[in-house]
Amino acid sequence: MTNENRQPVMAGNWKMNVNHLEAIAYMNKMAFSLVDADYARTEVVIFPPFTDLRSVQTIVDADHLSITYGAQDISAHEAGAYTGEVSGSMLKKLKAKYALIGHSERRAHHNESDELVNAKVKAAIKSDLIPMIAVGETLDIRQSGNAIEHTLSQVTGALKDVRSNYVDESVIAYEPVWAIGTGEVATPQDAQDMSLAIREKISKLYNQEVADKVRILYGGSVKAGNVKTIMEQPDVDGALVGGAALDPDEFLRIIRWPDQP
């Protein structure tokens, strides 16, 4: 994290955990603990399940918190007969800022293709939501030496026909599948190498100015104990945190990454 034009982001993805009452307790703890200096240094983002979004919004609004939030997924469709789907305009109405798109768990368990990810990115933009696009390789792909090629093709697929003025505020989360929930974290150098490759790809697809603005996060077994060395990498602008973000005290330590060992 060296570019002062890019504010660091610490994002907590709760996945399918935390009911709306627990979300209220969690948000109150964050509200009580975070101070202006934390918000000034780092953007704090929460990705709760859909059922918690209204509770999160209510606390953020009532207490004028600088915490931002988003949905873990978004429908590619605007409205209509799509049982179980949630549209971008519904999320915008709840004052969501982001939509997390293409998480590896959705790609793996819901067969989300690069084409669908691309359609969801466009749906988010249409509703004035910022896409946070998750990419990353499986262990097999890494072992075969194709991690960079594979991940960059996911980036290219997600951004197909997306205009540059929407890309520069988008966020890319590099989450190697083998590091998610496994306790096995990529080395800081691996995170840097992939983040730089993604930035160079965006420079080629768009231009250097856009590439310099896009924020690139690392995700995969991030904890308070390993966040600092990851954040020291020049092209890593933050972290997308799963398990460790379920404990507000641990997530607070991650948000305060410069103070960690």
Catalytic residues: 103, 175
Applying the rule CB under 6 A, the residues between 49 and 68 that interact with ligand 13P are none
Tokens of 210: 């856009």
DSSP label at residue 121: H
13 binds ligand 13P (CB under 6 A): yes
State the binding string over 71-110 for ligand 13P (x if CB under 6 A, else -). --------------------------------x-------
Tokens of 16: 């399918």
**Shortest approach of ligand 13P to residue 241 CB, angstroms?**
5
Stretch that binds ligand 13P, among 24-32, 60-68, 124-132, 216-224 (CB under 6 A): 216-224
Cα–Cα dist 233/93, whole Å: 36
Q: Which is nearer to ligand 13P, 174 or 206 (CB)?
A: 174
**Shortest approach of ligand 13P to residue 24 CB, angstroms?**
22
Tokens of 156: 């290219």
Cα–Cα dist 211/78, whole Å: 29
Q: Which is nearer to ligand 13P, 88 or 243 (CB)?
A: 243
**Shortest approach of ligand 13P to residue 50 CB, angstroms?**
16
Residue where the block lists tokens 């090629």? 149
Binding residue for ligand 13P, selected from 149, 181, 234, 258, defined by CB under 6 A: 181
Q: Is 241 left (phi over 0), alpha (psi -120 to 50) or beta?
A: beta
18 binds ligand 13P (CB under 6 A): no
Buried b (16+ CB within 10 A) or exposed e, 59-97: bbeeeebebbbbbbbbbbeeeeeeeeebbbebbbebebb
**Shortest approach of ligand 13P to residue 240 CB, angstroms?**
5
Cα dihedral sign, 71-47-243-25: negative
Among 200, 180, 182, 204, residue whose Cα is nearest residue 192: 200
Stretch that binds ligand 13P, among 1-9, 109-117, 206-214, 220-228 (CB under 6 A): 220-228
Applying the rule CB under 6 A, the residues between 221 and 250 that interact with ligand 13P are 221-222, 240-244
Q: Which residue is nearest to ligand 13P (CB)?
A: 242
Interface ranges with ligand 13P (CB under 6 A): 13, 103, 175, 180-181, 219-222, 240-244
